[in-house]
Structure 1
Amino acid sequence: MRELFRKKHQLWLQMLYGAFALQEGKEYAILLDFARIEFRHLKWLAKLMIKEGLDFDWDREHIDIVHKFDRGVYETLVEVIDKVEREYGVAPLFDRMKRDEAYMRYKLEQFAKQDPKELTAFDKRLFYEGLEGESLQALVEFLFEESYKEYELIVTYFYAAMHTSSKELYSIFEDLIYESCFHLKSFALLQAKLGILALPRVVMREVYKFEDLENFLRNGIDEEIAAKEQCKALSQAVSDEELQKFFDFINYQEDYHIELMREALAHLQNS
Structure 2
Amino acid sequence: MKHALTALSLALVLPLAACGGDDTGGDATGAASGGGELTVLAASSLTDVFDELAGPFEEEHDADVTFSFGSSTDLAEQAADGAPGDVLATADEASMGIAEDAGVAGDVQAFATNVLTIVVPKGNPAGIESLDDLDGATWVRCADEVPCGKVALAVLDDNGVTAEPASLEEDVRSTLDKVVSGEADAGLVYATDAVAAADEVDAIEIPGADAELTSYYAAALEQAGDADLAADWVAWTTSDEGRSILRDAGFGTP
Alignment TM-score, normalising by the size of structure 2: 0.23
Higher helix share: 1
Higher-Rg member (1/2): 1
Richer in strand (by share) = 2
| TM-score in terms of structure 1 length | 0.22
